[in-house]
A = this chain, B = another copy of it.
Amino acid sequence: MELGARAYDIVIGRGVLNQAGEHLSARLPGARVAIITDDTVAGIHLPALAASLDAADIGHTAITVPAGESSKCFAQFERLCDAVLAARMERGDALVALGGGVVGDLAGFVAASVRRGMAFVQIPTTLLAQVDSSVGGKTGINSRHGKNLIGAFYQPTLVLADTAVLDTLPGRDFRAGYAEVAKYGLLGDAGFFAWLETNWRAVFAGGPERDEAIARSCQAKADVVVEDERESGRRALLNLGHTFGHALESAVDYATERLVHGEGVAIGMMLAHEYSARLGLIGADVVERVRVHLTEVGLPTRIDQIPGQMPPADTLMDIIAQDKKVSRGALTFILSRGIGDAFVEKGVEAAGVRAFLEEKLAR
């Protein structure tokens, strides 16, 4: 990540978790480590990390939160801040997030806040975390008014993405993360999307193509973030599929048995392309290519694939209007002019979107 004085490395590869100790010693000599992880990941991957830190003679302690989105809350934030301080961590010591996006977001906000900033290392263990949440410096927790509404921009010192740890990830979580991988192709890199259409099976299987897909995704996100660290302009492209996606997640009350984030993004990307087609920006062929690829990897593309009752279009519109990407009441959407050619459209007319959603819900 080329962020001037705050530049840092993202190390990607099979087995890099076992080299965590060496990487930490090289970058943060003398630092002790507090590991924040969730109870699922702790059972599977914490021993390898602990062994690697032991081998490098790095003192460490682990603090565990329950797996799942509900840990991104004020109560865990307070508990972790206190636990890190109780472990007598000083400013030069490091906080290591071992887990998915939940652990990364929560631990990142803790790292940003304890003593107004401790060294922070991300070891993302889900595909979503490796290609998305661990890159870019957004950290935070949820409020009862919405997701990710409380937090900090805070860059890590190092990101270690071990692509082998994804072998233990449930298939549904892998697919959900893959929605974000496909997003990078769709938003700005037609060549990458075509490459994914050809190579997605190897990405799922864990061959060298997986490493390549993750590296290209990180690079794509890093490029946008470096250009626009504080999300005034281009960074908004990363929200392709997310305005609709977030509304759907919120509509099911974040019940992950019905819809996980990446599934919402997949449906949202589909809707964004369909809406772009309706506005005459792209043809039916582009929409079809998106649908075929998302479907072949096993991702949903239609609202009616979400189990259970969905609320009416008005409710979805209310959620969209409350979304934090609303600036002074105007709706901002990411639309597409073709594969790899998304753009930010401010001031999208709400009435048109409402009518479109009504149709989609009627099916």
Chain A interfacial positions (CB closer than 8 Å to B): 30, 74, 77-78, 81-82, 85-86, 90-92, 112-117, 138, 140, 143-146, 149-153, 324, 326-328
Q: A112-B152, A153-B117 are in contact. Are A324 and B91 (CB under 8 A)?
A: yes
Cα-based distance from A82 to B117 in the complex (angstroms):
23
Q: A91-B324, A92-B327, A326-B90 are in contact. Are A116 and B153 (CB under 8 A)?
A: yes
B86, B113, B149: the one within 8 Å of A114 (CB): B149
Contact assessment for B328 and A114 in the assembled complex, using a CB-CB cutoff below 8 Å = no
Copy total for this chain: 2
Q: A85: which B residues are within 8 A, CB to CB?
A: 143, 145-146, 149
Q: A150: which B residues are within 8 A, CB to CB?
A: 81, 113-114
B81, B151, B326, B327: the one within 8 Å of A113 (CB): B151
- 4 closest pairs, A vs B, by CB? A85-B145, A74-B78, A116-B151, A113-B150
User: Which interface residue of A150, A324, A326 has the most chain B CB atoms within 10 A?
Assistant: A150
Q: A91: which B residues are within 8 A, CB to CB?
A: 324, 327
Q: A326: which B residues are within 8 A, CB to CB?
A: 90
> Least Cβ distance of A48 to chain B in Å?
28
Contact assessment for B152 and A138 in the assembled complex, using a CB-CB cutoff below 8 Å = no
Q: A86: which B residues are within 8 A, CB to CB?
A: 145
> Least Cβ distance of A117 to chain B in Å?
7
B74, B82, B92, B138: the one within 8 Å of A116 (CB): B138
Cα-based distance from A74 to B327 in the complex (angstroms):
29
Q: A140: which B residues are within 8 A, CB to CB?
A: 113, 116
> Least Cβ distance of A244 to chain B in Å?
20
Q: A30-B328, A328-B30 are in contact. Are A143 and B92 (CB under 8 A)?
A: no
26 contacts between A and B (CB under 8 A): A74-B74, A74-B78, A74-B81, A81-B149, A81-B150, A82-B143, A82-B144, A85-B143, A85-B145, A86-B145, A90-B324, A90-B326, A90-B327, A90-B328, A91-B327, A92-B328, A112-B152, A113-B150, A113-B151, A113-B152, A114-B150, A115-B149, A116-B138, A116-B151, A117-B152, A152-B152
Q: A114: which B residues are within 8 A, CB to CB?
A: 149-150
Q: A92: which B residues are within 8 A, CB to CB?
A: 327-328
Q: A324: which B residues are within 8 A, CB to CB?
A: 90-91, 115
Q: A77: which B residues are within 8 A, CB to CB?
A: 74
- Of all chain B residues, the one with the shortest Cβ separation from A116 is B151
B82, B112, B144, B327: the one within 8 Å of A145 (CB): B82
Other contacts beyond A85-B145, A116-B140: 8, CB < 8 A? A30-B328, A74-B78, A81-B143, A81-B149, A82-B145, A112-B152, A114-B149, A117-B153
